[in-house]
Structure 1
């Protein structure tokens, strides 16, 4: 069974990587590579640094905010450990999509002995908040560039009405089935609760779900809700600045404003959310397509996507991740030596 599971994991990894590379190929196919390379050579690397600084500060405040969610659970990890866990989580996402959420919980469990199941609940809460923030950014982008975006959408909505209606019906049917499944599970649990609790595996599942619940509801118990949401605004504000500073890197994108940055932030976030390692492929395709809405050539859009993704999502994470891995190694080694001393 273990060999089959490992084989399935490897095949899944290769399939997702192949999808990302295919999208990357489709994005660059038929484009003027000489022009793209020329744009990259003439990039203003001061603004690359400013963009990376904004991204790094967003990661720092994400660690601060996550710590606020953990504290109500009765644990108070050091901010440095929380920060290293966040960065190592991003590093893990470069290897396997969505692996970072579990990895950062594992890192903090190792450094501060916090139960992983409770930490996973806080990460789920964080992800739901990020989805909400992404929706807010998307709405902001639409409002700022309403004339352009509404015209683009209307062109594509016409002729797609029937398929969208059928898709909505299918979505509602899936929701109905999930709700029915929930009712059935709830009925059997209430009827056979005491019998099920005799089963060791079932007790472990219940304990795991209770840990998720505690972590998930930790947001209601934080001491300063206002500060929590201020940190959230700061995180996404730095993401927006990183997108805007990225425009200053290339001469072809230098004229774009914060409104366009909001649009590209929304599209880039969707590309990064795709189940592909590090968003390679989906990010380039979505961002380059989005920039064509504003009159840029596909080559200019790809140059922007390439330099922003390579610098902020790969090189920065590799550098910070290496530092955080070393810091966690020394931290855990120091604690191990203390426990071993008589």
Structure 2
């Protein structure tokens, strides 16, 4: 992890690190935790739009599925991504491939919005003119453009796939594969209407505005008086880093979080490390607790999640 590298290479000041942990503002951290939970509500509204042409699903099941799914991601790493579509399939009797299709669309839209916010934040924040990380920053920009291109291509492909599904399956000789492809296409039914796609984009914007505010509130709770644009830079780095994470620990999240704080905002490594730890815990703990309470209140167990595909 990036933190361990800093500890060994630069003479990490543990007293400063511990002081940063002690000097938090509980009020702002509480607001940040509330915003974290609101992100699952915002995501549920968007998911409802994506599923609307397939089946009308209430907000309650979608919110609980999001909480269960993201708690699984926190605890299992990216392997937990499968929990949301699996649980939705079990609860709402929606074909699994259709559920997976909506989640893929979510991730593509999230990537596009994340990179748009990154570009706006880079323009709005005054970055250090000369930095030892200038090469890394340039690489981040290049990677961002590549991700924009790939995400745009992904959206165009999904439009093509949905509009040409009958033509595509006509070349598939296996009935089972044809059925899977058609079910996947049904999860893209919202693409048939421009208004539905526009509404999905609008909800994606709302989702990420809530996430930006959550990060800003958390930074205020750590006594950082940064602008919303600066908080956005840190959020983007953490979000990209979270793609690679160890179950229950994170890793990539904290590494790029610390990198952005020290590189873009000139924050001492000790302060940045303490902030990264709190940022991770303040998202993981309330999400996992909410998921646990939901499972207990509904008489569910981990076995129920593991056997979701069997029903």
Name the stretch that deviates more: 42-51 or 149-158. 149-158
1:209 aligns with: 181
Instruction: Report the aligned-residue RMSD.
Output: 3.2
Structure 2 unaligned spans of 5+ = 147-152, 154-166, 305-311
Alignment-derived partner of residue 319 in structure 1: 289
Distance 1:26 1:220, change over 3 A: farther
Q: Distance in 1 between matches of 2:182 and 2:256?
A: 39
3-state SS, counterpart of residue 97 of structure 1: helix
Q: Distance in 1 between matches of 2:70 and 2:137?
A: 39
1:236 to 203, 208, 213: 208
Once the two structures are TM-superposed, the CA of residue 285 in structure 1 deviates from its matched residue by 1.5
Is 2:226 aligned against 1:256? yes
Partners in 2 of 1:205 and 1:123 — Cα distance? 20
Indicate the structure with greater helix content. Answer: 1
Aligned counterpart, 1:19 = none
1:140 aligns with 2:120: yes
2:39 alignment partner, one of 58, 62, 74? 58
Please say if residues 59 and 86 of structure 1, whose CA atoms lie closer than 8 Å, have aligned partners that are also in contact: yes
Q: How far 1:141 moved relative to its partner? A: 1.3
Name the structure 2 match of 1:156. 135
Q: Distance in 1 between matches of 2:131 and 2:282?
A: 30
Once residues 61 and 52 of structure 1 are traced to their aligned partners in structure 2, the CA distance between those partners, rounded to angstroms, is 15
What stretches of structure 1 of length at least 5 have no aligned partner?
A: 1-21, 169-174, 176-188, 334-342
- 1:26–1:205 Cα change, 3 Å: farther
Taking structure 1 as the reference length, the TM-score comes to 0.71
* Closer, same or farther: CA 154–93 of 1 in aligned 2, 3 Å: closer
Q: Considering only CA atoms, is the larger Rg found in Structure 1 or Structure 2?
A: 1
**From 6, 15, 32, the counterpart of 1:34:** 15
Superposed displacement of residue 116, structure 1: 1.0
Equivalent pair of 1:142/1:149 in contact (CA under 8 Å): no
Give how far 1:70 is off.
0.7
State the shift of 1:328 in Å.
5.1
Change (3 A) 1:66 1:153: farther
Indicate the SS of the match to 2:212. Answer: helix
When the two structures are superposed, what TM-score results if normalisation uses the length of structure 2?
Answer: 0.78
